[in-house]
Amino acid sequence: MKMPAKLQAAFRVPRLTWMRILAALGVALAADGIQFAFGLFGLIGVDPVIDLVAMVLTSRLLGFHWLLLPTFVLKLVPLVDDLPTWTACVLAVVAIRKREQRAPPPSPPVIDV
| Amino acid at position 62, single letter | L
- 49-84 pLDDT per residue, tens: 888 899 899 999 998 888 888 887 887 777 777 788
Do 94 and 16 contact (CB within 8 A), yes or no?
yes
Cα(63)–Cα(51) distance, integer angstroms: 16
- 19-46 pLDDT per residue, tens: 999 999 999 999 999 888 877 666 667 8
Domain spans of the chain, in order of start = 24-100
